[in-house]
Chain A
């Protein structure tokens, strides 16, 4: 992306294009990665509800894979996940392992 010069920036750094956060892939900030274990998932969608970003993809009312382009690895989804019979459907795994 070509960086703008000082003559081209908006006054007061106001962002005029709504929803442009999608252009900035923030997944590289992650040091722990959430891993979805479908066999333990009861489709409660707590993970989708609690995710502070939009890193959990939902289609036809069912959750699918994580969107790792935007997941920063905060771990809230793993904490909130009720799992099935005491087994979590989301576990955090250290990146690079």
Chain B
């Protein structure tokens, strides 16, 4: 029987981690993720979990300790944001290259400079090619559900990769919403016991982690890792199917909203998808065929399936809450454009950069975008491909 509570996104994530009861966690505080580990350490102090909690001197050390604990054979988790994730950067590649299923909650926050503590996606976008699986969450419920599913996905014996679960800083992490918690037993059954793979602490079978691999073998390890990426989608869908049985909540690789018969569409990650859906409903009421696609599994990006559901549209706007400086377009736009590349008939694409440093994304922004898309669909012409919206001139 689900328990219905009013909780913040961070509270929900901390609760998920408590129900998972990992063997080890190492963390360093950073706004807006601090709250997760603050709550979790009180669970440790109060004996609600059996986790060995390591308080370290930096995020680089936090990820290093997680790597050591995971290689030793433990179920491991942590949380961070922004500069913290940036400081972990070197170790992110070591976690994925060593194929260690560490689960990390990334509460999305802008990168300095200028210094800013509010939500945008620059932090996680900087880590999108680090070999970590990324699951993105629109609201607190999705963040809670994604954390629990992340353990099943990352720890799967065919996968063994670390997973980042992303949610928007403050907008979701610090806002109170209605959330359904699963029973502790249901979570334990769903994730199962941790399966060790070549653990360092197995004294009967000594192993070495982190050897030097020279040009004669490096490409073979990279190709093997790339091959694993191709299996992730299937495992994500399997986990989602089992998760639906215990929660009643349905998940896929991405969410489509009124997209099947749509002529114009928005592609957007995380919390701003909610605002966009409301505006899409208004446009639908006016007889304009608008729809939305919200990626959930952002890495590995399910190119083929996304191309398939977007190809019939006349015009699509990809909204990015991060810019890829010097790369011409925002990061999500680049992925969507790649997904549609193989098709001869495809929508006209435009790119809007919005909400940087926590700037509000309002219904009027979605309206502006949808009006522009309707015009493009009519004329077959786009004036500007990339534009910042919600910015003063």
A: residues with CB less than 8 A from B are 3-7, 9-16, 18
- Which residues does chain A contribute within 8 Å of B209, judged by CB atoms? 12, 14-15
Q: CA of A12 to CA of B219 in the docked complex: distance in angstroms?
A: 12
Q: CA of A18 to CA of B208 in the docked complex: distance in angstroms?
A: 8
Contact A12 B97 (CB under 8 A): yes
Offer 12 A-B interface pairs, CB within 8 angstroms, sorted by A.
A3-B216, A4-B217, A4-B220, A6-B224, A6-B227, A9-B220, A12-B97, A12-B100, A13-B221, A14-B98, A14-B208, A18-B206
Contact B227 A11 (CB under 8 A): no
Q: CA of A68 to CA of B26 in the docked complex: distance in angstroms?
A: 44
Interface of B is mostly: loop
- Which residues does chain B contribute within 8 Å of A4, judged by CB atoms? 217, 220
- Which residues does chain A contribute within 8 Å of B286, judged by CB atoms? none
For chain B, the count of residues having a C-beta within 8 Å of the partner chain is: 23
Q: B272-289, CB under 8 A of A: which get 1 and which 0?
A: 000000000000000000
Contact A15 B98 (CB under 8 A): no
Q: CA of A7 to CA of B160 in the docked complex: distance in angstroms?
A: 16
- Which residues does chain A contribute within 8 Å of B208, judged by CB atoms? 14-15, 18
- Asked if B99 lies at the interface with its beta carbon under 8 angstroms from chain A, I say yes
Question: Who on chain A is nearest to B100 by CB?
Answer: A12
Q: CA of A25 to CA of B207 in the docked complex: distance in angstroms?
A: 20
Q: CA of A11 to CA of B99 in the docked complex: distance in angstroms?
A: 6
Contact B97 A13 (CB under 8 A): yes
- Which residues does chain A contribute within 8 Å of B221, judged by CB atoms? 6, 9, 13
Contact B224 A11 (CB under 8 A): yes
- B70 shortest CB reach to chain A, Å: 10
Q: CA of A15 to CA of B207 in the docked complex: distance in angstroms?
A: 5
- B91 shortest CB reach to chain A, Å: 14
- Which residues does chain A contribute within 8 Å of B223, judged by CB atoms? 6
- Which residues does chain A contribute within 8 Å of B216, judged by CB atoms? 3
Question: Who on chain B is nearest to A20 by CB?
Answer: B208
- Which residues does chain A contribute within 8 Å of B217, judged by CB atoms? 3-4, 9, 13
Contact A12 B205 (CB under 8 A): no
Q: Contacts A3-B217, A6-B224, A7-B224: A12 and B99 contacting too (C-beta < 8 A)?
A: yes
- Which residues does chain A contribute within 8 Å of B87, judged by CB atoms? none
- Asked if B115 lies at the interface with its beta carbon under 8 angstroms from chain A, I say no
- Asked if B187 lies at the interface with its beta carbon under 8 angstroms from chain A, I say no
Q: B60-101, CB under 8 A of A: which get 1 and which 0?
A: 000000000000000000000000000000000000011110
- B190 shortest CB reach to chain A, Å: 24
- Asked if B211 lies at the interface with its beta carbon under 8 angstroms from chain A, I say yes
Q: CA of A12 to CA of B210 in the docked complex: distance in angstroms?
A: 8
Among residues 172 to 231 in chain B, which have CB atoms less than 8 Å away from a CB atom of chain A?
197-198, 205-211, 213, 216-217, 219-221, 223-224, 227
- Which residues does chain A contribute within 8 Å of B224, judged by CB atoms? 6-7, 9, 11
- Which residues does chain B contribute within 8 Å of A12, judged by CB atoms? 97-100, 160, 198, 209
- B183 shortest CB reach to chain A, Å: 33
- Which residues does chain A contribute within 8 Å of B213, judged by CB atoms? 13
- B297 shortest CB reach to chain A, Å: 21
Question: Who on chain A is nearest to B216 by CB?
Answer: A3
- Which residues does chain A contribute within 8 Å of B219, judged by CB atoms? 6
Q: CA of A4 to CA of B213 in the docked complex: distance in angstroms?
A: 13
- Which residues does chain B contribute within 8 Å of A10, judged by CB atoms? 198
Contact A18 B207 (CB under 8 A): yes
- A81 shortest CB reach to chain B, Å: 30
- B162 shortest CB reach to chain A, Å: 11
- Which residues does chain B contribute within 8 Å of A15, judged by CB atoms? 207-209, 211
- Which residues does chain A contribute within 8 Å of B220, judged by CB atoms? 4-6, 9
Question: Who on chain B is nearest to A15 by CB?
Answer: B208
- Which residues does chain A contribute within 8 Å of B210, judged by CB atoms? 13
- Which residues does chain B contribute within 8 Å of A5, judged by CB atoms? 220
- A80 shortest CB reach to chain B, Å: 27
Question: Who on chain A is nearest to B158 by CB?
Answer: A11
Contact A16 B207 (CB under 8 A): yes
- Which residues does chain B contribute within 8 Å of A13, judged by CB atoms? 97-98, 210-211, 213, 217, 221
- Which residues does chain B contribute within 8 Å of A3, judged by CB atoms? 216-217
Given A6-B219, A6-B220, 6 more A-B residue pairs with CB atoms under 8 Å apart are A9-B220, A13-B97, A14-B198, A14-B208, A18-B206, A18-B208
Q: CA of A83 to CA of B286 in the docked complex: distance in angstroms?
A: 96
Question: Who on chain A is nearest to B227 by CB?
Answer: A6
Q: CA of A48 to CA of B24 in the docked complex: distance in angstroms?
A: 39
